[in-house]
Amino acid sequence: MQLSIIELLKVLFLGIVEGITEWLPISSTGHMLLVDEFISLSGSEKFKEMFFVVIQLGAILAVVVLFWNKMWPFNFKKSDGETGIIKKDIFSIWFKVVVACIPGAVVTLLFDDYIEAHLHTSTVIAIALIFYGIVFILIENWNKNKTAKILTLSDITYKTAFIIGLFQVLSIIPGTSRSGATIIGALIIGVSRVAAAEFTFFLAVPVMFGLSFIKLVKFGFAFSGAELVILLVGVVVAFLVSIFVIKFLMSYIKKHDFKVFGWYRIALGIIVLFYFAIA
């Protein structure tokens, strides 16, 4: 791979796309694969496959920074003579996250290679975008006059966490959206929009760190200088953009539902089907 201004501009754009789409329920992987059709990186297919996953670490780090106080289960400030205090409520949430990760981990280990080889196509992405866009609209209409039964993270039980984890399995299909799948599952079983989004953030941390580690191991950590710069630039840009997007999303869903993202998915899916039909 040759490091050039053009390649850096491509990575800058890809980092912006990743930062925007990772947390909005519109499928970051789908967008990244589609963008690659038009401004493809010049690296090997093996590098690009790894890049599209590892760049998401930037988005994950943004969540960790913004939600540090809610995610870090230890408090080392002195209190009544004690220097180490465990935040049991946060530990409880992380245990529930582990439970929610089990279905996705099993399915990913079994079918990830097959999915990448056969389903990373524009048609699959477009259909997934449209289908789950419709699902979002139907669910929000169904929930319109209903009051959420689970309002906060602490209200989420192990059973609820596992059910949300089952929905996360759907995101193995490109175009579905990891955040979209978990939010859909949460809304169906009565979780509030804010709690659904926050649990999605928690759930994304181990999932994305795990997937990134697997991709890096498969790639072999054998980076050229240009590849390392490209990867770091993508991660940093995704991190900075994600900071703003997460703040926007949390503010938006306090007053609005997710239907606008459903309509966006449908429109984009139709455009993708039309474009590749005539291309």
Please state the pTM of the whole predicted model: 0.88
- For residue 226, the model assigns a pLDDT of 87
Phi, psi at 150, each rounded to 5°: -115, 105
**Residue 59 contacts residue 234 (beta carbons within 8 Å):** no
Q: Where are the beta strands (DSSP E) in 43-110?
A: 74-75, 85-86
For 42-63, the pLDDT digits (tens) are: 878 888 888 888 898 999 999 9
Q: Which structure tokens are listed for 108?
A: 């990913």
- For residue 44, the model assigns a pLDDT of 82
CA 141 to chain centre: 24
Three-point CA angle 52, 57, 58, nearest 5°: 100
Instruction: Please name the residues in contact with 235: beta carbons below 8 A apart, sequence gap of 6 or more.
Output: 15, 54, 55, 57, 58, 61
- For residue 176, the model assigns a pLDDT of 92
Segments of the chain with pLDDT less than 70: 1, 76-84
